[in-house]
């Protein structure tokens, strides 16, 4: 069979797989899978405040045990050496809380040994220690690094609460309350894990905490006023489904903070929040998993765009239904409209989802006035979100806060500040070039191009924040630069091409480890993934006038459906949180195939 026929058949198979999964309201709903954190949080919360959901607890327990490695640990990605200490502590603690599995069960014994061998509870990430402290399993720090007075600092002060990213604020508002009160809750279901605290000083501090001796360094008047302000911030941003900002982690923290403020566990607001969390559960391989946030808007916008790139006309029923769904999800922000990641997200629009939705609606807006005004409003919002340095960030504008990132908290620079990134800047520039027909002669584009060229790595790659990792960033940057008139022969483009050619796997695909974003350098995988292969291919297709041997081998690899289809290629929190988008195995290969056919098979 000729390559043309094989490509056509493969493309049609992928399209058919996608078409049948569209729901009646126009959306595509794929699982957005992460590690054990959200499942563990949910088990503990339900055992603390709601014993009516034992069936759900059992389902979540089954999923935790299903994902446990043979050595007793839990991993965030397959090639993570030995296992992840924080993920293992969270899963182990939740399983003990559940009372569904005996502490002497071999699987729990193995997990305990792993934790002990790797330094015990003290070796955990700060967020894990925080969760343990809430459940009276680890002492609160003597001095908490986030003082409550940050809530009162005016916006022109760099370290104020106002200057943190919107994503972080919906989490940190609860953290402020809980830390100021050094809140801990204990029930008959709380397990004993003190033997995993290997430092006598830490055990003594925990004992004093349990005896009611807590050290506080905050003025009570400021403390109380700050808690009222934090509570108001949270309650004003509750979603219709009861969640805080649509995120499971923020909602769990919110529930603890409301308990700390004196809310009853059966209060309507907490009951509603629990119900909202339940809606985030999905089935994966017959197991129940709780997503941190559902990715419906993101997945639907990308699939709508990819189908159109694959030849679907705007009159097609799938395109029409998908467009109507995306239009309904637009948020109104200062008269302009942007989009967020999730269907239940009404407060936190972001740059990446907005450019994806605008891209998906472009053809519809050209022909239909119903879409046109909303599209232009979204475009205005997107253009206005450009940072002073020329790039685009995720949620906020000009939040490159050099002071906040020096707070003594792990990953603070990955969360509390919102800097320009190559993946977001590249995707926005590519949209503005391809869809809006802006070129490097436009001041905004010129500034963005300068930022991208300045931030290229020495090896020719770019770091991608929200995908794994350097392959993702390079794809976004190169396709963005080319779309606005940068030449294929530009040294930066040729350097990127050389790098991509050098990292192709023997099987013809590409693969990159999640540990790249920990070490901040490219770390290869010994296997390939569909999404990373497609990103690399799409980049090379954009650069090369003719399909070279590297491209041909990559296309063959995609068509053979080889590689690892479950490896997480979505970024979250470096070293601590990654996402497996189940839609990606369809979206990105379809896009690469569509662009290959358009360019080389006219």
Which of 192-201, 207-216, 366-375, 571-580 is least confident? 207-216
Clarify whether residues 12 and 83 are in a common domain: no
Closest CA to 123 of 175, 66, 85, 67: 85
Rounded distance between C-alpha atoms, residue 398 and residue 505, angstroms: 39
Segment (H or E) for 289: strand 287-290
So what's the pLDDT on residue 411?
Answer: 65
Residues 493 and 571 in one domain: yes
Domain coverage including residue 108 = 36-143+183-216+238-290
Domain assignment of residue 224, yes or no: no
| pLDDT range class, residue 568, cuts 50, 70, 90 | very high
529 phi and psi, to 5 degrees? -125, 150
Give the Å distances, CA to CA, from 581 to 290, 329, 464: 14, 20, 16
Q: Is residue 223 part of a domain?
A: no
pLDDT of residue 159: 67
Q: Dump pLDDT digits (tens) for 403-452.
A: 666 665 666 666 667 899 999 999 999 999 999 999 999 999 999 999 99
Does residue 163 sit within a domain? no
71 with 2, same domain: the answer is no
Task: Give the number of C-alpha atoms closer than 13 A to the C-alpha of residue 42, restricted to the C-beta side.
Answer: 32
Instruction: Say whether both 360 and 426 belong to one domain.
Output: no
pLDDT tens digits, one per residue of 551-560: 999 999 999 9
As for how many domains the chain has, the answer is 3
Question: Do 524 and 568 share a domain, yes or no?
Answer: yes
- Report pLDDT digits (tens) over 14-36: 999 999 999 999 999 999 999 99
Look at residue 383 and tell me if it is in a domain: no
Peptide bond into 249 cis (omega under 30): no
**DSSP annotation of 282:** E
Q: CA 546 from chain center: how many Å?
A: 36
Residue that is last in its domain, among 253, 268, 290: 290
Parallel, antiparallel or unpaired: strands 331-333 and 336-338: antiparallel
Assigned domain for 472 exists = yes
The pLDDT-based confidence of 169 (bands split at 50, 70, 90) is confident
pLDDT value, residue 590: 97
Looking at the structure, do residues 78 and 19 belong to the same domain, yes or no?
A: no
Q: Where are the alpha helices (DSSP H) in 336-486?
A: 351-367, 369-384, 412-415, 422-434, 443-454, 470-483
Given this model, what pLDDT does residue 602 score? 74
Distances (CA, A) of 508 to 68, 493, 549, 555: 31, 21, 10, 8
Do 481 and 591 belong to one domain? yes
The terminus-to-terminus CA distance of the chain in angstroms comes to 19
CATH of the domain at 194: 1.50.10.20
Domain final residue, candidates 290, 319, 334: 290
Q: Which of the residues are catalytic?
A: 352
- CA dist 178 and 374 (Å) reads 41
Is 158 part of a structural domain of the chain? no
Q: Are residues 8 and 60 in the same domain?
A: no
CB count in 10 Å sphere of residue 123: 15
Residue 306 shares a structural domain with residue 196: no
What is the tens place of the pLDDT at every residue in 229-285?
999 999 999 999 999 999 999 999 999 999 999 999 999 999 999 999 999 999 999
What is the structure's pLDDT at 130?
A: 94
| Residue 154 belongs to some domain of the structure | no
Does 1 score more than 60 pLDDT? no
User: Mean pLDDT across the stretch 479-488?
Assistant: 98
Q: To the nearest whole percent, how much of the chain has pLDDT over 70?
A: 92
| 66 and 139 within one domain | yes
Are 525 and 577 in a shared domain? yes
DSSP 548-589: -HHHHHHHHHHHHT-S-SSS--EEEETTTEEEEETTHHHHHH
Q: What does the alpha-carbon distance between residue 169 and residue 172 come to, in Å, rounded to a whole number?
A: 5
Residue 76 domain-assigned (yes or no)? yes
Whole-number Å distance between alpha carbons of 482 and 500: 16
The verdict on 432 and 579 lying in the same domain is yes
Higher pLDDT, 219 or 92: 92
Least confident residue range of 142-151, 182-191, 383-392: 142-151
Residue of 202, 201, 76, 90 whose CA lies nearest to 135: 90
pLDDT at 213: 65
Distance CA 301, CA 390 (A): 25
Q: Which two tokens stand for residue 449?
A: 């191009």
Tokens of 334: 């200062």
Write the burial class of residue 198 (CB in 10 Å: 0-12 exposed, 13-18 middle, 19+ buried). middle
Structure token pair of residue 59: 């389902």
Of the candidates 37, 91, 2, the residue with the CA atom closest to the CA atom of residue 575: 37
Q: How many CA atoms lie within 13 A of 166 on its CB side?
A: 19
Each residue's pLDDT tens digit, 287-320: 999 999 999 999 999 999 999 999 999 999 999 9
């Amino acid at each position: 069979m000729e390559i043309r026929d094989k490509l056509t058949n493969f493309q049609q198979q992928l399209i058919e797989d996608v078409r049948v999964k569209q729901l009646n309201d126009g959306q595509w709903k794929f699982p957005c899978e992460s590690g054990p954190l959200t499942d563990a949080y949910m088990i503990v919360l339900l055992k603390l405040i709601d014993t009516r959901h034992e069936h759900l607890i059992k389902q979540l327990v089954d999923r935790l045990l299903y994902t446990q490695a043979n050595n007793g640990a839990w991993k965030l990605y397959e090639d993570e050496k030995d296992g992840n200490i924080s993920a293992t502590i969270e899963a182990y603690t939740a399983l003990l809380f559940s009372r569904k599995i005996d502490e002497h069960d071999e699987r729990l014994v193995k997990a305990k040994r792993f934790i002990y061998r790797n330094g015990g509870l003290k070796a955990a990430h700060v967020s894990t220690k925080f969760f343990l402290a809430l459940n009276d399993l680890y002492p609160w720090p003597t001095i908490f690094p986030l003082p409550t007075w940050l809530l009162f600092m005016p916006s022109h002060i760099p370290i104020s609460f106002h200057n943190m990213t919107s994503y972080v604020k919906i989490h940190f508002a609860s953290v402020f309350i809980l830390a100021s009160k050094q809140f801990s809750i204990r029930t008959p279901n709380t397990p004993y894990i003190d033997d995993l605290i290997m430092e006598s000083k830490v055990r003594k501090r925990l004992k004093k905490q349990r005896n009611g001796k807590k050290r506080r360094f905050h003025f009570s008047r400021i403390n109380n006023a700050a808690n009222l302000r934090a509570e108001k911030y949270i309650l004003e941003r509750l979603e219709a489904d009861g969640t805080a900002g649509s995120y499971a982690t923020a909602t769990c923290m919110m529930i603890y903070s409301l308990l700390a403020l004196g809310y009853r566990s059966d209060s309507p607001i907490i009951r509603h929040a629990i119900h909202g969390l339940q809606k985030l559960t999905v089935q994966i391989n017959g197991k129940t998993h709780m997503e941190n946030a559902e990715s419906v808007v993101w997945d639907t916008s990308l699939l709508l765009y990819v189908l159109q790139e694959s030849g679907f006309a705007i009159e097609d029923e799938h395109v029409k239904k998908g467009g109507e769904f995306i239009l309904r999800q637009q948020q109104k922000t200062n008269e302009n409209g942007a989009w967020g990641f999730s269907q239940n997200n009404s407060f936190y629009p972001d740059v990446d989802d907005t450019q994806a939705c605008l891209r998906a609606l472009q053809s519809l807006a050209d022909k239909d006035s119903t879409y046109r005004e909303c599209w232009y409003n979204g475009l205005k919002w997107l253009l206005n979100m450009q940072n002073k340095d020329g790039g685009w960030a995720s949620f906020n504008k000009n939040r490159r806060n050099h002071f906040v990132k020096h707070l003594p908290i792990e990953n603070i620079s990955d969360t509390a500040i919102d800097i320009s990134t190559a993946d977001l800047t590249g995707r926005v520039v590519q949209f503005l070039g391809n869809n809006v027909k802006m070129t490097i002669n436009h001041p905004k584009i010129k500034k963005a191009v300068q930022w991208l060229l300045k931030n290229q790595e020495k090896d020719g790659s770019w770091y991608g924040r929200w995908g794994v990792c350097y392959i993702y960033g390079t794809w976004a940057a190169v396709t963005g630069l080319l779309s606005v008139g940068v030449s294929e022969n530009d040294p930066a483009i040729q350097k990127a091409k050389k790098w991509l050619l050098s990292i192709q796997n023997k099987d013809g695909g590409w693969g990159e480890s999640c540990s790249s974003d920990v070490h901040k350098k490219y770390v290869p995988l010994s296997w390939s993934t569909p999404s990373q292969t497609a990103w690399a291919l799409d980049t090379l297709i954009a650069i090369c006038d003719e399909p070279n041997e590297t491209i041909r081998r990559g296309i063959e690899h995609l068509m053979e459906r080889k590689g690892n289809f479950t490896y997480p290629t979505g970024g979250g929190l470096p070293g601590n949180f990654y996402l497996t988008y189940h839609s990606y195995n369809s979206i990105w290969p379809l896009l690469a195939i569509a662009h290959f056919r358009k360019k080389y098979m006219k």
